[in-house]
Amino acid sequence: MRVGTAAVALLSGVWLVDDGLTTSQPPPPPAQAPPSPGGAAGSARPAPGVAALGPSDPVRLRIPSIAVDAAFTPLGLDPAGALATPPLGRRDLVGWYRDAPAPGADGTAVVVGHVDDRRGPGVLYRLGLLRPGLTLTVTRQDRRTAVFTVDAVRSYPKAAFPAAEVYAPAGRAELRVITCGGRYDRRTGYDSNTVVYAHLTAVS
């Protein structure tokens, strides 16, 4: 089941943190042009892609430019039909939507993680600092490493989250990394989501 065809109707945003920090705000992404059709997400000269890998569960996400080195946990949908999240007590984990393609396989893979909790910043607190051209890697159970190049970083209000755009299949191996962002309200949580668009550019 692809996120682009099945989960778009279910996911209007990613509600990752209900008890975040109140003394700071995660770094926002820069203002950019809207994503262009075909998955390039507004990048003028996207890095060339490579052939997709076969299915294999992800094991570890590494984003050296923002000091992320995190283990994966599989995620499904909660009883309300929304994407579940890593346990609130595990701000060091990232989760991947197990009913969508695995990172590196053909299609759009979805990875989420907490931005913070009452104890401090979470694993994806600095996600908004990523820029087009930077890379991230996913180590998989098949011992292959999928290298993704960032095409764009966006911020969307949760009340107007463009699910069809974010989760749409693109005809190649792509990745979306999502966390909370924007302003925090003690009653309602963060008001936005930060979304990284990336595509597969190397394997090892």
pTM for the predicted model, two decimal places: 0.84
Q: Which two tokens stand for residue 161?
A: 């989250």
Residue 78 placed within a domain: yes
Residue 128 placed within a domain: yes
Residue 98 placed within a domain: yes
For residue 7, the model assigns a pLDDT of 41
CA distance 64 to 82: 30
Report percent pLDDT > 70 for the chain.
80
Residue 81 placed within a domain: yes
Residue 18 placed within a domain: yes
First to last CA, the chain: 26
Residue 37 placed within a domain: no
Q: Which residue has the higher pLDDT, 5 or 121?
A: 121
Closest-CA residue to 161 (of 12, 45, 61, 22)? 12
Residue 41 placed within a domain: no
User: What residue numbers bound the domain in which 20 lies?
Assistant: 3-32+46-203
Q: Which two tokens stand for residue 182?
A: 């924007």
Residue 80 placed within a domain: yes
* pLDDT, tens digit (0-9, with 9 covering 90-100), for 104-133: 999 999 999 999 888 889 999 999 999 999
What's the CATH number where 85 sits? 2.40.260.10
Continuous H helices in the chain:
163-167
CA distance 115 to 124: 5
* pLDDT, tens digit (0-9, with 9 covering 90-100), for 82-93: 888 898 888 889
pLDDT of residue 39 exceeding 50: no
Q: Under 8 Å CB-to-CB from 97, ≥6 apart: which residues?
A: 3, 7, 75, 76, 83, 109, 110, 111, 112
Split into its structural domains, the chain has a count of: 1
